[in-house]
Structure formats: structure tokens, C-alpha cells
Amino acid sequence: MNIEDKLIKTRFIVDKTPHIVVDTKICQTCTRKPCLYVCPVQNYKVSEDGKLTFEWTGCVECGACRVACRWCAIKWDYPRGGYGVSFRYG
């Protein structure tokens, strides 16, 4: 089963408050940008003007981005109770 098939069976209850905050000023100095490669749902992207963008609402809460960022530009926490991702639906 590929990642797309697994994500179809995933439920997200999105909070208005992000559980991940990215300091994009620090990201501008990062040449490797490992977050682009470790995020299983590809929530990190580089825009046409070269800036890192992030969409936290589809996060599967694996924490890989926080571990991969050697500059500590990613402040990651679990969502508040009742919000976030629930697996094995569908």
C-alpha cells in the first residue's frame, strides 16, 4: 500500500492554532533543506521565489521534520486534545 492509499484512510481534525511553527528566516540560510525530503506527506515546499513554505494542516505528526532540522527552525508540538490526525479510518 502506498502513502496516498494510507492517507485516504486518515482523518484530520484541524485546530485553528498551528502545532508546528517554522522560522523561515533560519530556513533561508539552510542549503540542504532536509525537511523537504523527510516529510512523508510533502508539507514542505520551496516556492518559485525560493522561499520555504509549509502547510501544517495535513501533518501526520511523525516529527521527522523537527529531528531532521539541524538549525532548530521547526518548533513542533502535538496538537491540542481532540485535534490532529487519526489513523485507520475508512
- pLDDT tens digits, 10-65: 788 889 999 999 999 999 999 999 999 999 999 999 999 989 999 988 898 999 99
pLDDT at 90: 55
Residues 6+ apart with CB under 8 A from 6: none
**What is the reported pTM?**
0.81
The residue with greater pLDDT, 90 or 1, is: 1
Architecture of domain 3-80: 2-Layer Sandwich (3.30)
Q: Which residues pair with 84 in a beta bridge?
A: 13
